[in-house]
Amino acid sequence: MYQSKEKIYTLHFILLCLSNALFSASFNMMIPELPAYLTRMGGADYKGYIIGLFTLMAGLSRPFSGKLTDTIGRVPVMIFGSLVCVVCSLIYPLISSVGAFLLLRFFHGFSTGFKPTGTAAYVSDMVPVTRRGEAMGMVGLFSTIGMAMGPAIGGYVAVRWNINIMFQLSAVFALLSVVILIGMKETLAHKQRFRFSLLRISGSEIFEPLVWSPVIITFLTYFSYGAILTIIPDFSAYLGISNKGLFFTFFTGSSIGIRLLAGKVSDQFGRVPVLKVSAVMMAGSMLMMALAHNSLLLLSSAVVYGISVGLNSPAVTAWTVDLGRPEHRGRALASMYIAMEAGIGLGAYFSAFIYNNHATNFPVTFYVFAGITLMATLYLSFIYKPGKTTDTVVQKV
């Protein structure tokens, strides 16, 4: 029976979770308002770049954040990521051209390229291995809460006052995240002073070879998320759902509800079994979407999809840390996040290509992505071979 009396819910840990929620709310609160903001600038044809450029920079910056996390420390990397949000949020009201806006969105991606890498490494340092999944689940829970709160707060402020006030509030949230982090004790034992030579990245520093299996699973399972971000708004409208964000409300709610439990389960029964279940559920939710012909079925699929993501995220993050070398923890996590962004980006591209703005293509799009997701389960069942590092963290008493 799994029992651990080692304490993880310290004030330090709770403050880190709060910082994560504030950071997540900061950059998410502006996302629903940016398409209309860009359109008013005359950039309606470039709305697809709002997420794409942000994600591209996040992916490109991961090798750097991973290396710096392992050299100068976890806290400086987290602070830098949050400070990028502060600066970018304050610059948005000052720009008036489409080109400047797109450039700013590109650089804004530095924030998520750095902050999550440092946070995950920091959490891994401060909690016992037997409760690593639980801790990752709690941190992810606060991030999801910020993700849910941000758009609601941003939309209210933009309507009640104006969008410039919303940008300023976004900067305040990010600054509060920084204030919390400044008081954090560094967990990297042998940190170095920053020097520009650390920004030189060799080929071997881009990926951590010991975590190829979590990287593959992350890539395959996040394909579906890219598809959902791209075509669910149109599918919702096609089914007569006036609020295109309703799917994401149900998805986020069910994801929040399962995250903490999922982390505990992966600590007790192992990462791989939980990831197998989550991939099957995720594929099942995609099949439900393919068969959905009314709002009830679509929103039910959102709940199942949210549960699958809530199971997947803490387990795959903890598994990445389990398999990676402690001295390369940042690199291992950066490798996983690169796979996540690649999966989302390619999923968005291929789903748009298959859908091609024809409603008759909705089912086949979801069927294709259900198949891609099932490949994760097939990999774990028939190809993956456990190495010396265990996949199952069990404490018997």
pLDDT digits (tens, 9 = 90+) for 277-294: 999 999 999 999 999 999
pLDDT interval class at 45 (50, 70, 90) = confident
Whole-model pTM: value is 0.86
pLDDT at residue 103, as a whole number: 97
**Average pLDDT of 204-218?**
93
Q: Which residues pair with 396 in a beta bridge?
A: 2
> pLDDT-based confidence at 394, cuts 50/70/90?
very low
Residue with tokens 């890498």: 117
Average pLDDT over residues 36-41: 88
Q: State residue 387's pLDDT score.
A: 67
Distance CA 244, CA 233 (A): 5
Which residues, including other chains, have CB under 8 Å from residue 105's CB and lie 6 or more apart? 34, 49, 50, 53, 54
**Least confident segment among 46-50, 162-166, 206-210:** 46-50
pLDDT of residue 54: 87
pLDDT at 183: 86
pLDDT on residue 118: 96
| pLDDT average, residue stretch 347-366 | 90
H helices of 74-211, in order, are 74-91, 98-108, 110-126, 132-160, 163-182
Mean pLDDT lowest among 63-67, 108-112, 244-248, 292-296: 244-248
**Region 115-132: what's the mean pLDDT?**
93
Residue 57 host element (H or E): helix 49-71
In this prediction, residue 123 has a pLDDT band, given cuts at 50, 70 and 90, of: very high
**pLDDT band, residue 6 (cuts 50/70/90):** low
Confidence of residue 389 (pLDDT cuts 50, 70, 90): very low
pLDDT surpassing 60 at residue 376:
yes
**Looking at 168-172, 231-235, 356-360, which range is the least confident one?**
231-235
Which two structure tokens, joined as six digits, stand for 113?
A: 């390229």
72-86, 231-245, 312-326: segment of lowest average pLDDT: 231-245
Q: What is the pLDDT of residue 46?
A: 84
Q: Is residue 208 very low, low, confident or very high in pLDDT (cuts 50, 70, 90)?
A: very high
The distance in angstroms from the start CA to the end CA of the chain is 7
Residues 6+ positions from 360 with CB-CB distance below 8 Å: none
Check residue 261 and give its pLDDT: 83
Q: DSSP class of residue 197?
A: G
Q: What is the pLDDT of residues 214-246, one digit of tens each?
A: 999 999 999 999 888 888 888 988 999 877 678
Q: How confident is the model at residue 390 (pLDDT cuts 50, 70, 90)?
A: very low
Q: Cα 366–367–370 angle (5° rounding)? A: 85
Backbone dihedral angles phi then psi of residue 2, each to the nearest 5 degrees = -80, 120
pLDDT of 385 reads 87
Q: Are 340 and 217 in contact (CB under 8 A)?
A: no
Q: What is the mean pLDDT of the chain?
A: 90
| Least trusted range by pLDDT, from 36-45, 64-73, 108-117, 279-288 | 36-45
